[in-house]
Structure 1
Amino acid sequence: MRGFPFSARAVALAATFLAGSAYAATPEEADKGAGAPAQAAPAAGQDDGEIIVTTTAQKRFENIQNVPLAVQVVTPADLEAQGVRHFQDLGKVSPSLVIRPSENPVNANVSLRGIGTFAYAIGVESSVAVTVDGVPLAFQARAFSDLPDVAMIEVLRGPQSTLYGKAASAGLIKIMTVQPTKDFHVKANVLATDDREYGGNFSVTGPINDNLGYVVSASYSNWDGNVLNVFNNKRVNGRETLNTRAKLKWKATPDVIFTLSGNYVDGKTDFGRPFIRVTPGATFLNTPGLTTDVVLPGITIEPDNQKIANNDRAGTKFAGGGGILRTDINIGKMQVLGLTSYDKFHMNDYIDQDDTVAPGAIGRNIQDGRFQSRLFTQEIRLLSPGEDAFRYALGVYYADAGFQRRFYRGPVTSPQNWFATSGSRQIAAFGQIDWEFIQHLTATVGGRAQNERVEYTFDDRRLATSYGGHASDDATTYRLGLNWQATREILAFGSYATGYKGQTYDLTSNFDKNRAAAGPIRPETSKDWEFGVRSQFFGRRVTFNVTYFSTDYTDLQAQTIEQLADGTSNFRLTNVGKMNTKGLEFEAAARVMRDLTINGGLTYLDATYLSFPAAPCYTQQGPAQGCVTQGKVSYQVLTGTRAIQAPEWKGSMAIDYSPALTEKLNGVLVGSWQYQSSVYYAARDPETFQPAFSIFNLTAGVRDHKRRWEATLFVNNLFDKQYFPALVNSGGNFGKQIATQSVLPRDFRRYAGLRFGVNY
């Protein structure tokens, strides 16, 4: 094992962040039966100076300081402080999480601790699962929307396959929404910015009678983007979204509760990738005369360029909805929980594939497609009392998922026209036992056994060929742990866990008889060691948590170049070898005084490919840069190389000061900081290198002393620092010369706004 290359600068940086971690107050009414919090507020009788955070990481409601897992809880206040209103920005509040956006959320990537699946095929699951109110989403793109009615978000780091299944081999993001309350409650917010964003959301909760409660929530947001298309003088890179959700909670008897919820989302995005570097004199598709002055007229190509020239549309239109029936039954001291869900979603995606206004057909190359997904799930869970010395959570799980993908690209460059389907059926049984066999010393044993069947069809309409197949697989994962409650405020733990990501088919362009004959891609497995300390001091006013982790991944699923038996080569998703990711995660929070809190977190990450013998070369890569050519195949060896999208250091910190101004008014002053060290978005490619950067946000305003209303002015990216969450090497369209495009973040430029909220 390699040692950690700590330097004096690195230690100083870590020390800076040890003033903070994600802070969350105890929920006002922790609904243990529903397994989700109500509105966040200080608990009755709680010392206002205490920092108490709750989590459902182990499928029961617990104080996070008593949970021997690497889990972070994010509250709506944390999201506001860091300017997060959309799923793809969650990495700003979670240091171990990186989300790389794309022109299509299916092609976006979510990674935890440097592990994520870089694939474009339907049916290929992310290594990071996403659940909403305890129910998994069908596929990653379903999560890319606003975060309007969040009660809290939990980020579970490292393999979570034992309790949460095959799509959580690198971790899990749990989104929990507002729950019905016993008293009538209204919460609403409106927002407007100086760069043309506006929106609002509300939630109304309360009782219909003594046994029936409800939630109704909705949100609308509109932003026209920060990129100008000079072809039609319209702004792009924005989005418009409508979200609605409703819940009914019926207490049929004192021991039987039903919660029925439904949700619907409808929205659209438009997209543009400005060119920030192009070799002078480079011509589009090696066509004489088609220089950048011709194909990108009116654009000054420079690092802070915010203009594009697209003569075809680019973006998405999406809509979908679903429902969840939750059944809670108390049998003596035990609780039986049932979760039944159905979700259906579709998304049309389109892009100006050449990203230019080049004359003729080569300048009208488009890409157009449609995704459809459906998912039915059923989970039944048996929980013992959480305070017993011998505790258990046992369950069974069933899921049936189906996907469809229609895809067209052409008519000139890289033409494609195909239709594919993918399906999976999963049955699993899982359980975890925690036994305090000696006072303050608890052992954990957990396991999961599952069977999955996957199937596919692929119809290449251009070549008039069709393929189909299916496969089945059995898998088991487990977790072993030991934790010691040294004092009421200090917990030390260690664990060993295995992870599993299921087999799949690479249903993308150029799928042919060779890929069909190769069968499914083998499952990806992992082995994870974790050691940590959870601690609080000074009457629970200061929290400090640290976790060490080391995870080995085998049969890593990634894109590679392979030489086939018939002499041809193939660029496909397959099993490429091994990877190790290890590091340290720090979290802390301090209630310095009643009106002043500091919180934040920091992750040090060393993610390395242990075996990756044949990765694609980047466009400008030659022998001198490590591109090896054998026959018709060119590749680079990444063994020993740092993983992509895995910054060495990443952290965030926030300071919240709310002093009393009068007997009825408090001031609001929140400052936040995000830091990320340098990162490659494609292996060794200098055109996709993002240097280290820091972003500062500031919020100031006033609120009612009882928090019944609040008015604030915020400035995000206070010092106007430019950075890129994704970079694309498009040199292949310019004769392998330099041609680099950027994906701009929401806060690429400094912007300010007003926010007004009521909370009754």
Structure 2
Amino acid sequence: MIRSFLMSSAAILAVAAAPAFAQTDAASDEPAEIVVTAQKRSEKLQDIPLAVSVVGGDALVRQGALNIENAQYLVPTLNFRKSGTSINQSLYIRGVGTATFSLAGEPSISTVLDGVVLARAGEAFSDLVDIERIEVLRGPQGTLFGKNASAGVVNIVSKRPGDTLGGYAEGGWFFNNGNEYRVRGGIDLPISDQVRSRWTAFYGTYDGNIFNDAPGVNRRVNGYERYGVRGIIEANLTETVKLTLIGDWRKANDDCCAEVIGTQPTGVGALALAGISFAGDGTRVVRQNLVTRTEEESYGLSAQLDFEVGTHTLTSITAWRKYNNREIRDGDWVGGAYAGLNQLHDDGPQTGTTFSQELRLTSAADQTFSYVLGGFFSRAVTERTFTRTVIRCGAAPTEPLALVSCGSPGYPSETVSGSATFGSAFDNYALFGQGTINFSDRLRGIVGLRLTADQLSVFHSRVATPNVGGLPGINRNFDQGVYDTSSFGQNNGNAAASNGVPFQTSTSATNLSGKVGLQYDFSDDVMGYGSYTRGYKGPAYNIFFNLNPTGTNVIEAETGDSFEVGLKNTLFGGKLTLNLAAFYAKYKNFQANNPDLVAGVVVTRFTNAGDVSTRGVEMDFALRPVKDLNITGGLAYTDAHVDAFRAPPGAAVIPAGTPLGFAPKWKGSVGLDYRYRTGLPVDFALSGNVSTQSSQLSLFDASAAVRAAGTIKAYSLVDLQFAIVEKNDKFRLTFLVKNLFDTSFPAQITNGGPGGSFRYLIPREADRYFGVTGRVNF
């Protein structure tokens, strides 16, 4: 029973966000059923009353996908906010996500890797290597997956060990937009009849897609070097007890992601960047004397025990993870320190550990009332030391305006810096349960509850040298002494009262959330469902480098009420699946970055932004008209916008109806995969994918002009692959082209560049490039 309970589809072939067909052998015309664990038990995708997109790991490999960022082109309801470093990136589902620089805030999209929740957003963006499938669960999933799943879940499942000795080796070269090399391999090593293991390793390096022409740099940037290993051991301890041990380690050195200046600066900024063509998202040159980069190391261990107890399965998952990240950033976006243009460099190493324990009891599915009951505990501790160093030398010459380096005669250079040490500790306790009541052979009811208790504590201390105010980006000393002497409106209090004792505060919250729904089988091939779900995300603080007394308030817990109806259709003997869903969700106390005022300057703060809502319809399909031909696709219409904005005192109000960031109204994809069987030693395969989306807001701002300048225009991408495949799949040689029509687009647009310019983040996929990969299976 345990083995069947934990089973997953062995080979899923998906090219788009759709119920993907599993691969079949040459003798079969029937597609295999897709099995998912979206409800904490193995179930057929078409049987669950929930909107889920499934992308097979093999399809990701054929598409040349590297991480979840690339998966957004295959799943219409999934979007990705790219940032200068991985810890500031975030996912969005149905237009809802959390963007924050605070280490005391959590994502709205939970990422789960082999049953273990990844507590920090940055941990989710590691390389996807040896992946069986990705399940994207749309809408609030907190009943079974916890508080940081208020907008959805991305569930990543690794390939599991096989019973026989075997494996694969794969290498790839990608070119025309900087050279990239990847090497990957995995092997199944059975230890005994009862113990199996799988070991994988990977290495990848990429030059980058942006050229940095600063003196002393003069090379491509926005690339990476990454490598890591993973091991999985499965042991049948007895006929009724199974143990799964998983360990992984990963290292990343990314010189990513420098922001290009896409619009014409004024004043000294124009002189400092003279010679660069400011072509919006067509810009591919930066001039930064500090290479923006991220240094990461992450590793972890998990142990899963599954006990068969009569008709039930008792599961325990114990996990410990370590996540270290160092952010190095050029914050002035020019090649030096100049009169009238300060040099600003950041260095922020961060460490984090997470321990989690889940215990759940799962009943058999074939009974009148089937259920999952469980308890969960996690503790996530993060600490960061962040240093900002500024070089300045006074105002720029005015008649005539000239570019003068700091340290030149008459412009003595002054270096000031601030260093802050801050941290957070999240403790989460939960009891949860979800059950299905079979009222008849066709009608079922779903009910679930989760009782959550959160405890959050934070600390912060900052020292500025010299202790001066008024310098953009560096406030005066901040600690308990300063905080105690401050009053409303005094951003820094009395710096002379500093006592060196870190400011500390804490909060706690409890919540009861859950789900109710109905599911009805209109026939053996058509199922309809409707559900109401209450989502919850716990309280937070805006703990970051520039904290001041007016920003120390608790950010209240976020709640969401979501309604969803859907129809799942399996037609023509399983050759076509067509799924439809409609949804509406309203979020109160929405946690988001929004404009705030500090010392009269508009900055971004993590706050309760007010009330927002999202509604829309989704369609996905998978068609196999004949053997070896798969056509898959999806389409989503999403209207996510502000209902009532909560502005900080003195800040402008973002009007009701303003779209949420990274929420295109229309997004879709269509993919095709065809294998031509020649009857000779080799076959030929042709695959392709088209993804398209309407415009989306990147700058969430009160100014209509700023929002217009920060809007990412609509774009479409076309990818093609051609492969030579050994008839028994012993080897595969694939040639691919990404972004066939060389469509340029930005992943993010931000204001605040030198001389009033706008900054653009350009992803690798914004240029056409080519690749060749070879894979040998043994």
> Under a length normalisation based on structure 1, what TM-score does the superposition of the two structures give?
0.89
Amino acid at match of 2:640: A
Cross-structure match for 1:114? 95
Q: How many residues align?
A: 700
Once the two structures are TM-superposed, the CA of residue 255 in structure 1 deviates from its matched residue by 0.4
Cross-structure match for 1:211? 194
Residues 45 and 709 of structure 1, relative CA distance in 2, 3 Å threshold: closer
Once the two structures are TM-superposed, the CA of residue 345 in structure 1 deviates from its matched residue by 1.1
Cross-structure match for 1:277? 263
In 2: Cα distance, 1:727 partner to 1:75 partner: 31
Cross-structure match for 2:723? 701
Out of 589, 593, 596, the position equivalent to 1:555 is: 589
DSSP 3-state at the match of 1:146: coil
Cross-structure match for 1:26? none
Once the two structures are TM-superposed, the CA of residue 181 in structure 1 deviates from its matched residue by 1.4
Once the two structures are TM-superposed, the CA of residue 390 in structure 1 deviates from its matched residue by 1.9
1:198-249: CA deviation from partner (whole Å, max 9, x where unpaired): 1111111142111111010011111110111112221101111112100111
Residues 318 and 410 of structure 1, relative CA distance in 2, 3 Å threshold: same
In 2: Cα distance, 1:45 partner to 1:703 partner: 13
Once the two structures are TM-superposed, the CA of residue 76 in structure 1 deviates from its matched residue by 1.9
Matches within 5 A, 1:42-61: 42=23, 47-50=28-31, 52-61=33-42
Once the two structures are TM-superposed, the CA of residue 561 in structure 1 deviates from its matched residue by 4.8
Once the two structures are TM-superposed, the CA of residue 174 in structure 1 deviates from its matched residue by 0.6
Once the two structures are TM-superposed, the CA of residue 108 in structure 1 deviates from its matched residue by 1.5
Q: Would you say 1:350 and 2:333 are equivalent positions? A: no
DSSP 3-state at the match of 2:237: strand
Cross-structure match for 1:471? 507
Cross-structure match for 2:412? none
1:630-686: CA deviation from partner (whole Å, max 9, x where unpaired): 9xx341332221212110001111111111123332111011101010111013422
Q: Would you say 1:523 and 2:506 are equivalent positions? A: no
Cross-structure match for 1:619? none
Out of 539, 547, 569, the position equivalent to 1:503 is: 539
Cross-structure match for 2:85? 104
Alpha-carbon contact 2:421-2:462 (below 8 Å) kept: yes
Alpha-carbon contact 1:184-1:204 (below 8 Å) kept: yes
In 2: Cα distance, 1:228 partner to 1:31 partner: 52
Matches within 5 A, 1:299-698: 299-303=276-280, 304-360=282-338, 362=341, 364-412=343-391, 416-462=418-464, 463-465=477-479, 466-516=502-552, 518=553, 520-561=554-595, 572-614=605-647, 633-683=650-700, 684=704, 685-698=707-720
DSSP 3-state at the match of 1:636: coil
DSSP 3-state at the match of 2:625: strand
DSSP 3-state at the match of 2:143: helix
Cross-structure match for 2:759? 741
Alpha-carbon contact 1:31-1:38 (below 8 Å) kept: no
Cross-structure match for 1:286? none
Alpha-carbon contact 2:2-2:242 (below 8 Å) kept: no
In 1: Cα distance, 2:433 partner to 2:371 partner: 7
Q: Would you say 1:254 and 2:254 are equivalent positions? A: no
Alpha-carbon contact 1:51-1:541 (below 8 Å) kept: no
Alpha-carbon contact 1:38-1:180 (below 8 Å) kept: no
Amino acid at match of 2:505: G
Identity %: 29
In 1: Cα distance, 2:632 partner to 2:361 partner: 36
Residues 562 and 311 of structure 1, relative CA distance in 2, 3 Å threshold: closer
In 1: Cα distance, 2:646 partner to 2:39 partner: 38
In 2: Cα distance, 1:342 partner to 1:108 partner: 23
In 2: Cα distance, 1:580 partner to 1:432 partner: 26
Once the two structures are TM-superposed, the CA of residue 82 in structure 1 deviates from its matched residue by 4.1
1:71-107: CA deviation from partner (whole Å, max 9, x where unpaired): 1111023324544212222211111111011111122
DSSP 3-state at the match of 1:747: helix
Alpha-carbon contact 1:128-1:171 (below 8 Å) kept: yes
In 2: Cα distance, 1:235 partner to 1:671 partner: 29
Once the two structures are TM-superposed, the CA of residue 576 in structure 1 deviates from its matched residue by 2.3
Alpha-carbon contact 2:386-2:419 (below 8 Å) kept: yes
In 2: Cα distance, 1:352 partner to 1:176 partner: 37
1:408-444: CA deviation from partner (whole Å, max 9, x where unpaired): 2232489642110100111111011101111211100
Once the two structures are TM-superposed, the CA of residue 123 in structure 1 deviates from its matched residue by 2.3
Cross-structure match for 2:751? 729
Q: Would you say 1:244 and 2:253 are equivalent positions? A: no
Amino acid at match of 1:614: A
Cross-structure match for 1:7? none
Once the two structures are TM-superposed, the CA of residue 45 in structure 1 deviates from its matched residue by 12
DSSP 3-state at the match of 1:539: helix
In 2: Cα distance, 1:359 partner to 1:426 partner: 46
DSSP 3-state at the match of 2:248: strand
Cα RMSD of the aligned pairs, angstroms, is: 2.2
Alpha-carbon contact 1:51-1:540 (below 8 Å) kept: no
1:186-208: CA deviation from partner (whole Å, max 9, x where unpaired): 12221001231011111111421
Deviates more, 1:121-130 or 1:410-419: 410-419
1:550-572: CA deviation from partner (whole Å, max 9, x where unpaired): 001011112345689x9999853
Residues 656 and 348 of structure 1, relative CA distance in 2, 3 Å threshold: same
In 2: Cα distance, 1:478 partner to 1:423 partner: 26
Amino acid at match of 2:86: P
Residues 307 and 567 of structure 1, relative CA distance in 2, 3 Å threshold: closer
> Under a length normalisation based on structure 2, what TM-score does the superposition of the two structures give?
0.87
Cross-structure match for 1:15? none
In 2: Cα distance, 1:206 partner to 1:359 partner: 57
In 2: Cα distance, 1:108 partner to 1:408 partner: 21
DSSP 3-state at the match of 2:573: coil
Once the two structures are TM-superposed, the CA of residue 722 in structure 1 deviates from its matched residue by 0.6
Once the two structures are TM-superposed, the CA of residue 759 in structure 1 deviates from its matched residue by 2.3
Cross-structure match for 1:758? 776
Once the two structures are TM-superposed, the CA of residue 488 in structure 1 deviates from its matched residue by 1.6
Deviates more, 1:542-551 or 1:743-752: 743-752
DSSP 3-state at the match of 1:592: coil
Cross-structure match for 2:149? 168
In 2: Cα distance, 1:278 partner to 1:242 partner: 39
Cross-structure match for 1:77? 58
Alpha-carbon contact 2:9-2:33 (below 8 Å) kept: no
Residues 82 and 647 of structure 1, relative CA distance in 2, 3 Å threshold: farther
In 1: Cα distance, 2:527 partner to 2:2 partner: 23
Alpha-carbon contact 2:6-2:41 (below 8 Å) kept: no
In 2: Cα distance, 1:146 partner to 1:30 partner: 30
Cross-structure match for 1:21? none
Alpha-carbon contact 1:95-1:650 (below 8 Å) kept: yes
In 2: Cα distance, 1:151 partner to 1:569 partner: 46
Cross-structure match for 1:625? none
Alpha-carbon contact 1:451-1:473 (below 8 Å) kept: yes
Alpha-carbon contact 1:561-1:570 (below 8 Å) kept: yes
In 1: Cα distance, 2:10 partner to 2:151 partner: 28
Q: Would you say 1:200 and 2:202 are equivalent positions? A: no
Deviates more, 1:494-503 or 1:137-146: 137-146
Alpha-carbon contact 2:361-2:373 (below 8 Å) kept: yes
In 2: Cα distance, 1:31 partner to 1:311 partner: 56
Alpha-carbon contact 2:596-2:651 (below 8 Å) kept: no
Alpha-carbon contact 2:9-2:34 (below 8 Å) kept: no
In 1: Cα distance, 2:601 partner to 2:46 partner: 56
Unaligned runs of 5+ in 1: 1-28, 284-289, 616-629
